[in-house]
Amino acid sequence: MSSQILRNVFQGPQGRAGEAELEVFYMKSHGRKVARIHMHDWLILLLLVFIEIGLNIIHPFYRFVGKDMMTDLKYPMKDNTVPLWAVPVYTVLLPILIFLFIYFKRRDIYDLHHAILGLLFSILITGVLTDAIKDATGRPRPDFFWRCFPDGIDSYDRWGNVVCHGKDSDIREGHKSFPSGHSSWSFAGLGFLALYLAGKIKAFDRRGHVAKLCIVFLPLLMASLVAVSRVDDYWHHWQDVFAGGLLGLIVATFCYLQFFPAPYHTEGWGPYAYFRACEETRSNRRLAHPDPGREVSLGISDSNQQPRQDRHGPGLDSSPDYLSYSLESDVESGKV
């Protein structure tokens, strides 16, 4: 009983009836076709990977940092609360596991393929934009002083700019504060997941189930906590994490809408390609197996409609014999 109630909450009152009409597109039968159609998209993803690697190899812009600016850059150096290796785990692997779980429930390769493709586009586009802005801006991190002067003895040239004597890798990383990469990647991956879940559970079906919103907000809460940790660790200023989170969420929305209707749409639970494939499958099925019963019913309805064209009203025959008989009766009865 309780499972039926939960099913009605998250699928709607016609959830089970809708599932009975769903088409299934297996990975074995349709996977190669889907991958072939989107081959160029996968090649663009590969190109984005190389661009992202290149942006991490080049040096960022070394912005002027004067002695008066060091007041806000003397926070202590700390380790990352969320290590770098964990970011792709919760932004890429976790959503893909959820996509796979839904695939085994629905058997829709279009949904699985487009969800993974949209997620990877969201992550890589966000990564390229984030690192390009990082390298171009060169904003120092809040702990830049200790990266530049690990012994605490500061030094400046005749122009007032810092003369760092710390590790080159620390100094280089110290000029990559804006925007926050952890924040942008988190909102790009988990923001995409939130939109995906909102569509799947029909969060905006106007039936007033707030429990659905709690599920949608869960990935966003996780991304927000990661962003807050970047400020707590003194790796970023608050403006960095705000801009990074906003950037990731915007890119995630654009990438999601390339493959799926908006979550508040009546067909927001499936990708555009799924509905096109359903129409194509049903059209081919009708052409291959025409319904003879429909043709018979059409013939019967046409024969039933024919007499109505010869009638002036309900039950009145327009034949000459009937009209002459009616006229004679009227004469005898004194009506004419």
What average pLDDT does the segment 143-147 reach? 94
Q: How many residues does the chain have?
A: 336
Would you please indicate which residues are annotated as catalytic (active-site) residues? 182, 236
pLDDT in tens, 4-35: 444 444 444 444 334 435 565 555 555 576 77
Q: Which of 248, 236, 277, 253 is nearest to 110 (CA)?
A: 277
Q: Is residue 266 very low, low, confident or very high in pLDDT (cuts 50, 70, 90)?
A: confident
Q: Which pLDDT does position 276 carry in this prediction?
A: 75
Say if residue 190 is exposed, middle or buried (CB neighbours under 10 Å; 0-12, 13-18, 19+). buried
Range name among 134-138, 192-196, 200-204 with the lowest pLDDT average:
200-204
Residues 70, 74, 75: CA angle, nearest 5 degrees: 145
pLDDT in tens, 154-192: 999 999 999 999 999 999 999 999 999 999 999 999 999
Mean pLDDT for the chain overall: 80
Q: Which pLDDT does position 180 carry in this prediction?
A: 95
Preceding peptide of 179 cis, ω within 30°: yes
Residue by residue, DSSP assigns 218-265 as: HHHHHHHHHHHHHHHTTSS-HHHHHHHHHHHHHHHHHHHHHHS--TTS
pLDDT in tens, 209-250: 888 889 999 999 999 999 999 999 999 999 999 999 999 999
* 49 phi and psi angles, rounded to 5 deg: -60, -45
DSSP SS3 for 25? strand
What single-letter DSSP state applies at residue 202? T
Count the Cβ atoms, other than its own, within 10 Å of residue 14. Answer: 11
Q: Is residue 265 very low, low, confident or very high in pLDDT (cuts 50, 70, 90)?
A: confident
Q: Is the pLDDT of residue 2 over 50?
A: no
What average pLDDT does the segment 81-105 reach? 94
pLDDT in tens, 26-73: 555 555 767 777 788 999 999 999 999 999 999 999 999 999 999 899
- Please list, in sequence order, all residues whose beta carbon lies within 8 angstroms of the beta carbon of residue 284, skipping any fewer than 6 positions away: none
Say if residue 255 is exposed, middle or buried (CB neighbours under 10 Å; 0-12, 13-18, 19+). buried
What single-letter DSSP state applies at residue 64? -
